[in-house]
Amino acid sequence: MLDASHVVVFCAKTAMDDAWLKLVVDQEDADGRFATPEAKAANDKGRKFFADMHRKDLHDDAEWMAKTGLSQRR
């Protein structure tokens, strides 16, 4: 690796917390994804439902994030 002409580093989030989920929904809001505040709240509620299921019940949040692309956001 020290003599390589190029090095590519991949990284991904392996855990999510409520603060990070808030950053994601706030960025989506800033990007214009939601037509109304109600749509933003519904999206946030749905994402938190699945996030909690994978964090607290299934304990596979890293795998779930990799499959959904959440680890690549922000």
Question: Tell me, what's the pLDDT at 74?
Answer: 52
- Give a yes or no: residue 62 inside a domain: yes
Q: How many domains does the chain have?
A: 1
d(CA 26, CA 7): 33
Domain that holds residue 56: 18-72
Q: Flag whether 63 is in a domain.
A: yes
- Indicate the pLDDT class of residue 72, thresholds 50, 70 and 90: low
Structure confidence by residue, pLDDT tens digits, 10-61: 877 777 889 989 999 999 999 999 999 999 999 999 999 998 999 899 988 8
Phi then psi dihedrals of residue 16, to 5 deg: -130, 140
Domain assignment of residue 64, yes or no: yes
What count of other Cβ atoms lies within 10 Å of the Cβ of residue 48? 16
pLDDT score at 32: 97
Report if residue 12 sits inside a domain: no
Compute, in degrees rounded to 10, the torsion defined by CA atoms 59, 74, 70, 20. Answer: 40
Tell me, yes or no, whether 3 lies in a domain. Answer: no
